Structure 1
Amino acid sequence: MTVDVVLPCLDEAAALPGVLGALPAGYRAIVVDNGSTDGSAEVAAAHGAVVVHEGRRGFGAAVHAGVLAAEADLVAILDADGSLDPKDLPRLAAPVLAGEADLVLGRRRPIPRSAWPLHARIANRALARTIRRATGLPVHDLGPMRVARRTQLLGLALQDRRSGYPLEMLLAAAQAGLRIRELDVPYRPRIGRSKVTGTVRGTLTAVADMRRILRERRGDPANRRNAPNR
């Protein structure tokens, strides 16, 4: 069995050797370089990863490019910064392989607690609460570690190319009737500087993107037409 692991990457040269080296047997890395200037693409290639270049900046743009490049039936999504352990991927893949779930999310449990900045935890908790109230989905985290079948991911026809992509995936999957499950995963301090949730500005940008997705999914077509830089 082969599982393709999509790793969106922006300046993660320091973390990539450890992340790629920890991938379990049968898990193939697809590193999507999103405009790195630190040699991340070269590091990824030297460690055996398939490297895809995506010029359009954004988490959604990078992940979408990786899913398109994937060939395996099962696709995992994982941050390339070392905060999440690739060795947890088989545990997330197991319910999908067993036919018990269609999309499995890793619910982050910070070790130590400071691994997840307070402002990011608060924003994530508030968004998850909003999602539970709006959709009834029993989710508590919008984290980036996920496993699903490639055909089902592509079938969702996700449009967001920024920070709203993880939420759009979740809402579209629920609307499509996919079975969604959360499993706890340890979340450790990332290697290097965070470009998104490690800063207040990055967190606010992500929250704004996700709130826009919520508005759009509630059926206001004007929001979708006027969404910037999708």
Structure 2
Amino acid sequence: MPLINVIIPAYNEEKSIAKVIRDIPVGLINDIIVVDNNSEDNTFATAQATGATVLKEPRQGYGQACLTGIAYALNKPAHLRPEIIVFIDGDYSDYPEEMPKVLQPILEDKADMVIGSRALGNRQKGAMTPQQLFGNWLATSLLKFLYNAQFTDLGPFRAIRTDNLVQLGMQDQNYGWTVEMQVKAAKQKLRFTEVPVTYRKRIGFSKISGTVKGTVMAGYKIILTIFRYL
């Protein structure tokens, strides 16, 4: 079994982070890395109490938190360096127990990257806002038209081979993180696929879709990122 690490970016997720960590299948993951992205609540202490590796990243931004987690994983001694990295949000909207399904195409050497698609899976009513649904449709339509890349979602629940992740050279520090990975995977002709995942209403308040400013900024950055790499 390859070494697998999970990276969980977390900002003010004290009410949900323990649930996320608890539901990750025991024995599957070698290290759960929570990146506390300058939270104002007890996210750090709550995650630490579960036994996860918890890092502090004061520079706020979803992508920045992911980059910090990646850097930590890559700096491990060679015998502890993960071969696969999984990303999942800390708000308990995804189902961590579905991780084996997300990992399966990689473990069977059928893919280098797997996206957990909320569009293909069962989604609780109201779990995604109308603007999220429209944004996903627009972004994936552009990915298909501009890059001939067949995606149905920009979902945060995903897995990728570590070597391929390094090859992508990820840079985005905030809203464009997920789509940057998919654009670069298409451009570099990685083997990618999607698997249906279940999605529920998040615990707590969304820092992106929960505000007009967050929604507009995220949408702008996603579209900008898609065109930037043409």
With normalisation by structure 2, the TM-score equals 0.91
Partner Cα distance (2:213, 2:132) in 1:
10
For residue 85 of structure 1, what is the aligned residue in structure 2?
Answer: 95
Partner Cα distance (2:155, 2:173) in 1:
16
SS of 2:193's partner is: strand
Q: How does 1:1-230 map to 2 (within 5 A)?
A: 1=1, 2-25=3-26, 26-27=28-29, 28-70=31-73, 71-108=81-118, 109=121, 111-218=123-230
Alpha carbons 2:142, 2:226 under 8 Å: kept: no
**Aligned length, in residue pairs:** 218
Alpha carbons 1:4, 1:30 under 8 Å: kept: yes
- Tell me the CA shift for residue 159 of structure 1: 1.4
Alpha carbons 2:35, 2:55 under 8 Å: kept: yes
Deviation larger for 23-32 or 104-113? 104-113
For residue 227 of structure 1, what is the aligned residue in structure 2?
Answer: none
- Tell me the CA shift for residue 197 of structure 1: 2.0
Alpha carbons 1:78, 1:144 under 8 Å: kept: yes
Alpha carbons 1:120, 1:198 under 8 Å: kept: no
Percent identity over the alignment is 33
Partner Cα distance (1:59, 1:15) in 2:
17
Partner Cα distance (2:221, 2:59) in 1:
16
Deviation larger for 66-75 or 107-116? 107-116
- After superposition, what is the alpha-carbon deviation per residue over 1:55-106, rounded to whole angstroms, capped at 9, x for unaligned? 2111111111111212311100000000001111111111111110000001
Q: Which amino acid aligns with 1:174?
A: A
SS of 2:14's partner is: coil
Deviation larger for 205-214 or 33-42? 205-214
- After superposition, what is the alpha-carbon deviation per residue over 1:11-55, rounded to whole angstroms, capped at 9, x for unaligned? 000001111110102223100011001010111110011011112
Runs of at least 5 residues in structure 2 that lack an aligned partner in the other structure: 74-80
SS of 1:186's partner is: coil
Q: Which amino acid aligns with 2:149?
A: L
- Tell me the CA shift for residue 122 of structure 1: 1.2
Runs of at least 5 residues in structure 1 that lack an aligned partner in the other structure: 219-230
- Tell me the CA shift for residue 155 of structure 1: 1.6
Deviant stretches of 4+, over 4 Å: none
SS of 1:187's partner is: coil
- RMSD between aligned alpha carbons? 1.2
Partner Cα distance (2:132, 2:104) in 1:
29
- Tell me the CA shift for residue 113 of structure 1: 2.1
- Tell me the CA shift for residue 110 of structure 1: 5.3
Q: Which amino acid aligns with 1:17?
A: A
SS of 2:149's partner is: coil
For residue 76 of structure 2, what is the aligned residue in structure 1?
Answer: none
Partner Cα distance (1:124, 1:95) in 2:
23
- Tell me the CA shift for residue 194 of structure 1: 0.6
Partner Cα distance (2:168, 2:210) in 1:
29
Partner Cα distance (1:43, 1:187) in 2:
23
Alpha carbons 2:147, 2:187 under 8 Å: kept: no
